[in-house]
Chains A and B, each alone.
Chain A
Amino acid sequence: MTVAWLRSLFVMLFAAAVLAGCQSTAPEPSKPAPEPVPTPDTTPAPPAPPATPAAFDENLNPYVPGTTRLLSRTFYFDYDRAVIIPDDLAALEMHGTVLRNNVDVTVLIEGHADERGTREYNLALGERRADEIRKFLISTGVSPAQIEIVSYGEERPEDPGHNEAAWARNRRAILIYQ
């Protein structure tokens, strides 16, 4: 063995470890920032670092990357609005990560609206909500080919009630992995 070969091995192992480390640091702000990786995607990983978890459960619901906690797939909206709520951006970033790391997986985004207002305008509003999420995911680098959207307007409420609480639960978009 030459020192040069050993050094290459250490670099590769180190890169692999850092890569694995990078994937699991996203949701945990207290973890120290990983050192800069020279070429994050050069070589295929060596015999898989034992810590890489499955990305999805048996129903193809994604985990928070690097954990076995399910990633939230339902996002809510304000009345009459299709704007993504700032608190949801972190989770949506993670969906972006999952999709970029699993390019043969697609996601269907369902958009919904509460019952107030006209049915057909609500079909359009539901689509706009799904589309906002789609645009955000694309902006994180997800390929448009992995995303489909559909709107159900007010037709498929989560809660059939006729009050503010029910309406708030119905103004939503849901990510369904396929």
Chain B
Amino acid sequence: MMGSCSWLMVLSGFLLLAGVVHAEQSLDTIIIDAGYDKQTKIAVVPFRSPPELSAEQPMSDIISFDLARSGQFAPAEEENMLSYPTSSREVYFRDWRVLGVEYLVIGQASIDMLGALTVNFHLYDVFNEREMIADSVNTTRDKWRDAAHYISDQVFEAVTGIRGAFSTKILYVLATNAGSPNAGYRLEMADADGERARTLFDSNQPILAASWAPDGKQVAYVTFETGRPAIVLQNLATGARQVLTQFTGINSSPVFSPDGKRMAMVLSRDGNPEIYVMNLADRSLRRVTRNQVIDTEPSWSEDGRSIIYTSDRGGRPQIYRQDLTNNLVERLTFQGDYNARARLLPDGKHLVFVHRNNGVFHIAWQDLERDDVRVLTRTSLDESPSLAPNGTMLIYATQDQGRGILAVVSIDGRVKYRLPSSSGDVREPAWSPFMDTL
């Protein structure tokens, strides 16, 4: 059996790989902590690959890194493999049993003369010598990365029963020279592994509060391009932008409802920051809070009936839930003197939020039924938690040696990884919904 030392080397291998093979425009992705026990040992054998893809990062590497980042899998290192099957008749289960590998992934990619990419792949349960998946991905040659992430999703779901989130994207803001007259801000989108970063919007004024429409086709964010904060919608495919609100005062915290038809937001046009819900079809506004205090950072319950938000009506920022059907308000957080920017997990029973503990800002998790609060992060100055759509991981912004970075932690605390940018400070991450990428 491979000891924990070997798995550490495996992960260091991926660390180096991630550092070396990324494209120029991408975030580094560095695993810093992955629980070594109870991980499922999996082997992703290098795929048979056509010459057109020989200069690219191997698909097996992308898949292994996806699975490692989930914290649930420990991928085997290529040089330890005893054989390199790419088709089912080349598989000898004994070769994998002796390594302690529980699951095996093999594949073959080919590109035809019209540029169509076909990837056949198989997943095996090694101990039971059983084929679990025999499938193929058919797409275009330029989507070879997407094909790899699709395979990661299928493997992850087959083994864990949870839908994979490897084909998702992240939005974030890259800030350069913040605080100086040359400050620059870019809203960028990258793959969940930090690759293929591209700029959606570029400004010399601050950008914040990016969020996704549930269909993944639009994003909303706050921009100071006019000197005042305004909420803007942007279509991802066309790049077309439109102003959603630019009332007097604050226009911020745009968050789409789960059905995509409404947008929660914060407006202070009536004298102080209040939560509003806008009907996106006719732009009519419904005011949700009515008081003299700060109400901000709304988010939605999965059924779209309730809004969770931060309010300092009790003197300090705490999290509240308001039922939109009857306007009943319930306070949710009672530990600590600062709880803000909450997001509900898809099960509706747990909350993640920013929590100040002894003066330090961490991301915390709370079981709403048992009022059990757990700090998830060991970083500090943490903010903006955003959940992966399968609820297993969360991305947030923090600082590392004075630089703004993104960090991801699994909800079960097993894995932590960081995404710094060599170009500046990264902040304000937003994890996309499930996406159809092929």
Contact = CB atoms under 8 A, between A and B. Distances in A.
B179 A159 contact: yes
A121 interface: yes
Contacts of A95: none
Interface stretch (A12-20, A52-60, A122-130): A122-130
B206 A121 contact: no
A43 interface: no
Nearest to A149: B249
Given A150-B228, A156-B206, A160-B179, A121 B381 contact: no
Contact of B310 (A118, A153, A155): A118
A119 interface: yes
A157 B268 contact: no
B341 interface: yes
B172 to A, nearest CB: 13
Contacts of A160: 178-180
A152 B224 contact: yes
A126 to B, nearest CB: 9
A123 B229 contact: yes
Interface in A115-171: 115-121, 123-125, 127-128, 131, 149-153, 155-160, 162
Interface in B164-188: 178-180, 183
B356 to A, nearest CB: 8
Interface residues of B, number: 38
B415 interface: no
Contacts of B227: 150
Contact of B354 (A117, A125, A151, A157): A117
Contacts of A119: 208-209, 383-384, 427-428
B294 A121 contact: yes
Contact of B340 (A121, A150, A153, A162): A121
Interface in B295-319: 296-297, 310, 316-317
A156 B266 CA distance: 20
Contact of A157 (B179, B209, B249): B179
A120 B249 contact: no
B260 to A, nearest CB: 21
Contacts of B228: 150
A174 to B, nearest CB: 14
Nearest to B183: A156
Contacts of A120: 208-209, 252-253, 266, 296-297, 310, 341
B399 interface: yes
Contact of A117 (B273, B361, B427): B361
Contacts of A152: 206, 224
Contact of A127 (B178, B180, B273): B273
Given A155-B208, A159-B179, A160-B178, A123 B361 contact: no
Interface string B275-300: 00000000000000000001011000
B294 A155 contact: no
A114 B31 CA distance: 30
B268 A118 contact: no
B428 to A, nearest CB: 7
B254 to A, nearest CB: 10
Contacts of B383: 117-119
B178 A118 contact: no
25 contacts: A117-B317, A117-B356, A119-B427, A119-B428, A120-B208, A120-B253, A121-B310, A121-B340, A123-B208, A123-B252, A123-B296, A124-B272, A124-B273, A124-B294, A127-B250, A127-B273, A149-B249, A150-B227, A153-B208, A155-B208, A156-B183, A160-B178, A160-B179, A162-B381, A162-B399
Given A118-B340, A152-B224, 8 more contacts: A115-B381, A117-B340, A118-B297, A118-B384, A124-B250, A124-B268, A128-B294, A150-B227
